[in-house]
Amino acid sequence: MPHAHDHCNHLPGETCPGDHDTPPRLVPPPLSLYVHLPWCVRKCPYCDFNSHQAKGELPFDAYIDALLRDLDQDLPLVWGRVVHSVFFGGGTPSLFPPEAIDRFLQQASARLRFAPNAEITLETNPGTAEHGRFDRYRAAGVNRLSFGIQMARPRAR
């Protein structure tokens, strides 16, 4: 025989939504950040992304400042969500020095909670960063590199 509560009807052994001391906790979905760094050594003929050929010195600090201001504006939309991945795409993000990537990641992780095993990817092209620079990207928190398949075909570059 169903047992009557004032908030639900259930069979013996079943629980009603209000039977527990703590309400069910909603876990917000994980968060992935895409960070667009739009400059390239040159604009590839196949590329239709928002990217621009670098002319002169790039405004690394000013651009990182602008990205952080943009992130600050969106923080109320993502409170409580844990960052599981960050993807630096472009353009050619490896044109940015490791120190700029480090600064962004440090500032972003001061504003948002990052998962301990968050995947931090940097899109790169051969010839835009010498070998020693990759150690510095790693020290900044980058744990994955992304190379486009077009890099395997010299004519595509």
- pLDDT value at residue 70: 98
Considering the entire predicted model, what is its pTM? Answer: 0.78
Q: Are 3 and 11 in contact (CB under 8 A)?
A: yes
Cα(46)–Cα(150) distance, integer angstroms: 9
Cα(105)–Cα(67) distance, integer angstroms: 11
Q: How many CA atoms are closer than 13 Å to the CA of 61, on its beta-carbon side?
A: 0
- pLDDT value at residue 1: 42
Cα(55)–Cα(52) distance, integer angstroms: 9
Q: 5-44, pLDDT tens digit by residue? A: 445 554 555 566 655 666 667 888 999 999 999 999 888 8
Q: Across-strand partners of 144? A: 121
Would you list the domain boundaries of the chain?
28-156
Helix (H, G, I), strand (E, B) or coil at 78: helix
Q: Which residue has the tokens 């527990």?
A: 20
- pLDDT value at residue 21: 60
Q: 87-143, pLDDT tens digit by residue? A: 999 999 999 999 999 999 999 999 999 999 999 999 987 777 677 788 999 999 999
Q: Which of 55, 50, 63 is nearest to 103 (CA)?
A: 63
